């Protein structure tokens, strides 16, 4: 998830320095979680053909090459980008940027035929060039001011671009007769009843999506010795809490780490999807939710690995240095899947206010109206309700069926992929009063991780991040002790 009001929360950081210090520390458990063994079987890659099983759970991308899911496009580090969040009904109009991205992607993955593409749809979150710091009229800007101070300019800026094939609307021939003249005309019509242009035979139809990154070298230009390692920052939804992440980025940048930062989840991660739940269709809804979430977290994994490879190629001094994933809120929910896609790449992980079972989080989170990504409507007859108060109340039986069916069908929810993180040191920071990523889902994630070391705080989602600046030194010491020092032995 993310934090919509983090700026106002910063004023309480000083007051929280003692409150957040009141934490319970749970050492890693030797015994596995009660249900870990069962879950491990469900998400295990053991099969007659292990490679086929591994590939089958990872959704394909345009080009059908499991070795190249997309491409990296370089950006000018000093050119500001403005984040925009499309409303649920907004149709983003493609600009020269989107056409350039689509053509570059096609060239890099070896597409030689014509194609049609769609840009991001309603609910998506993306970044647009903003060199003159002007407000864009087609969507409300949030977060960034659009200007960059010299100290804010990263060493590298780039985006990962991929696309997913889709089937276009079926075209049928409609004959219309003029009642006065008797003249007949033929039209190509889509199944939606709208006039549609002719489709060239063999054309691919794809949906574009993008993920933006920045990278900072250790101490920037002043750095002379070898880097300690790399920190990869995975933020909450919409890149929040941006001010806190700014501080973490600069802290580790000055602790001799290279810092790779995902600016926000992949652009379609928050694309609006309405799930209408009525008695008897819970299992089909759960299957749909599982497919959507698997696609979204998989894209986060593809983008992160591609970004890491890109930086490593440009910064050979980072080769063989430890790499630590740090996920916050929605980033922590996605982190186990990022790890599972390329476990050989990562040496440690810190998960802050994360959870497992994305479906239940989407239903129960007090941020669901703000994020508006996957909405579950339990009120029969609703027509696109605007507020979460219009969604009706599910029965306990419905929730149980939805959750069980979702976890059975999902392959890439943290519930499954967390069981694969047993080979690296893992630290959890948990807010026991969390309502954004409900604390029960955090407890579930803790169990699926095999009960690693956990620091629990008797506060909510917003306050654990507002107080995070008081904990970063302690987190850094944990990383040094459990990841950096063992790597140097």
Per-residue pLDDT tens over the stretch 20-63: 555 667 767 533 332 322 233 234 343 344 444 555 899 999 99
What's the average model confidence in pLDDT over 187-210?
Answer: 61
How long, in residues, is the chain?
Answer: 489
Contact (Cβ atoms closer than 8 angstroms) between residue 235 and residue 264: yes
pLDDT in tens, 422-451: 999 999 999 999 999 999 999 999 999 999
Q: Report the share of the chain in percent with pLDDT over 70.
A: 76
> Residue 70's pLDDT is what?
98
> Residue 167's pLDDT is what?
82
> Residue 312's pLDDT is what?
97
Q: Does pLDDT of 194 surpass 80?
A: no
What mean pLDDT value characterizes the chain? 83
* Residue 215: band (very low, low, confident or very high) from pLDDT cuts 50, 70, 90: very high
Q: Does pLDDT of 410 surpass 90?
A: yes
> Residue 221's pLDDT is what?
57
pLDDT in tens, 95-154: 999 999 999 999 999 999 999 999 999 999 999 987 665 444 444 444 444 455 677 789
- Helix or strand (DSSP H, E) at 457: strand 453-457
> Residue 92's pLDDT is what?
79
> Residue 147's pLDDT is what?
55
> Residue 393's pLDDT is what?
87
Helix/strand number for the chain, H first, E second: 16, 17
> Residue 185's pLDDT is what?
59
Angle between helix axes 330-341 and 282-314 (nearest 10 degrees) is 70
Work out the angle at residue 13's Cα, subtended by the Cα atoms of residues 9 and 18, and round it to the nearest 5 degrees. Answer: 135
Other beta carbons less than 10 A from residue 222's beta carbon = 8
- Helix or strand (DSSP H, E) at 115: strand 115-118
Least confident of 49-53, 279-283, 376-380, 417-421: 49-53
> Residue 152's pLDDT is what?
79
SS3 content of the chain, % helix, strand, coil (to 5): 40, 20, 40
What's the average model confidence in pLDDT over 301-306?
Answer: 98
Q: What is the DSSP string of 358-382?
A: HHHHHHH-TTHHHH-SEEEE-STT-
Is residue 180 classed exposed, middle or buried when 0-12, 13-18 and 19+ CB atoms within 10 A define those classes? exposed
Rounded distance between C-alpha atoms, residue 189 and residue 196, angstroms: 6
Q: What is the DSSP string of 308-331?
A: HHHHHHH-GGGTTS-EEEEEETHH
* Residue 188: band (very low, low, confident or very high) from pLDDT cuts 50, 70, 90: very low
Residues 6 or more apart in contact with residue 257 via CB below 8 angstroms: 218, 227, 228, 229, 230, 231
Contact (Cβ atoms closer than 8 angstroms) between residue 26 and residue 453: yes
pTM recorded for the entire structure: 0.84
Contact (Cβ atoms closer than 8 angstroms) between residue 365 and residue 438: yes
> Residue 316's pLDDT is what?
93
Q: Report the share of the chain in percent with pLDDT over 90.
A: 66
> Residue 131's pLDDT is what?
63
pLDDT in tens, 265-274: 999 999 999 9
> Residue 348's pLDDT is what?
98
What's the average model confidence in pLDDT over 264-289?
Answer: 94
Contact (Cβ atoms closer than 8 angstroms) between residue 429 and residue 461: no
What's the average model confidence in pLDDT over 370-374?
Answer: 91
Pairing of strands 24-26, 156-165: unpaired
Task: Please give the domain boundaries of the chain with CATH numbers for all domains.
Answer: 6-179+185-488 (3.40.50.1820)
Q: Which two tokens stand for residue 268?
A: 């379609």
Q: Does pLDDT of 157 surpass 80?
A: yes
What's the average model confidence in pLDDT over 403-425?
Answer: 97
pLDDT in tens, 394-408: 999 999 999 999 999
What's the average model confidence in pLDDT over 200-227?
Answer: 83
């Amino acid at each position: 998830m993310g934090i919509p009001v983090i700026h106002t929360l910063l004023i309480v950081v000083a007051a929280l320095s003692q409150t957040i210090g009141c934490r319970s520390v749970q050492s890693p458990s030797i015994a596995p979680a009660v249900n870990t063994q069962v879950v491990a079987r469900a998400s295990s890659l053991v099969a007659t053909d292990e490679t086929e099983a591994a590939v089958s759970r990872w959704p394909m991308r345009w080009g059908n090459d499991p070795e190249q899911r997309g491409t990296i496009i370089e950006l000018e580090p000093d050119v500001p980008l403005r984040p925009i969040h499309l409303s649920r009904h907004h149709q983003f109009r493609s600009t020269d940027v989107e056409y350039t991205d689509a053509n570059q992607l096609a060239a890099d993955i070896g597409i030689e035929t014509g194609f049609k593409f769609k840009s991001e749809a309603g609910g998506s979150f993306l970044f647009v060039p903003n060199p003159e710091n002007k407000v864009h009229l087609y969507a409300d800007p949030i977060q960034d001011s659009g200007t960059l101070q010299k100290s804010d300019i990263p060493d590298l800026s780039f985006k990962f671009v991929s696309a997913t094939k889709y089937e276009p609307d079926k075209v049928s021939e409609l004959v219309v007769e003029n009642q006065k003249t008797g003249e007949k005309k033929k039209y190509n019509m889509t199944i939606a009843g709208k006039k549609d242009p002719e489709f060239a035979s063999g054309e691919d139809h794809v949906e574009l999506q993008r993920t933006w990154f920045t990278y900072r070298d250790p101490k920037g230009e002043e750095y002379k010795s070898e880097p300690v390692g790399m920190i990869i920052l995975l933020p909450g939804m919409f890149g929040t809490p941006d001010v806190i992440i700014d501080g973490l980025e600069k802290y580790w940048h000055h602790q001799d780490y290279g810092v790779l930062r995902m600016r926000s989840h992949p652009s379609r991660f928050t694309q609006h999807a309405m799930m209408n739940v009525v008695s008897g269709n819970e299992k089909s809804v759960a299957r749909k939710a599982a497919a959507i979430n698997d696609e979204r977290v998989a894209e986060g994994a593809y983008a992160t690995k591609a970004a890491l490879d890109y930086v490593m190629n440009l910064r050979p001094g980072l080769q063989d240095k430890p790499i630590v994933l740090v996920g916050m809120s929605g980033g922590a929910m996605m982190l186990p899947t990022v790890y599972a896609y390329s476990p050989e790449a990562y040496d440690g992980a810190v998960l802050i206010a994360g959870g497992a079972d994305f479906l239940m989080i989407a239903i129960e989170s007090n941020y669901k109206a703000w994020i508006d990504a996957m909405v579950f409507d339990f009120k029969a007859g609703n027509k696109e309700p605007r507020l979460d108060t219009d969604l009706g109340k599910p029965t306990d039986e419905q929730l149980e069926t939805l959750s069980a069916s979702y976890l059975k069908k999902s392959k890439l929810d943290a519930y499954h992929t967390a069981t694969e993180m047993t080979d690296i040191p893992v630290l959890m920071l948990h807010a026991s009063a969390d309502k954004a990523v409900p604390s029960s889902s955090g407890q579930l994630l803790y169990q699926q991780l095999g009960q690693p070391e956990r620091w629990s705080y008797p506060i909510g989602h917003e306050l654990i991040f507002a107080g995070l600046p008081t904990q970063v030194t302690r987190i850094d010491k944990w990383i040094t002790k459990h990841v950096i020092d063992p790597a140097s032995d």
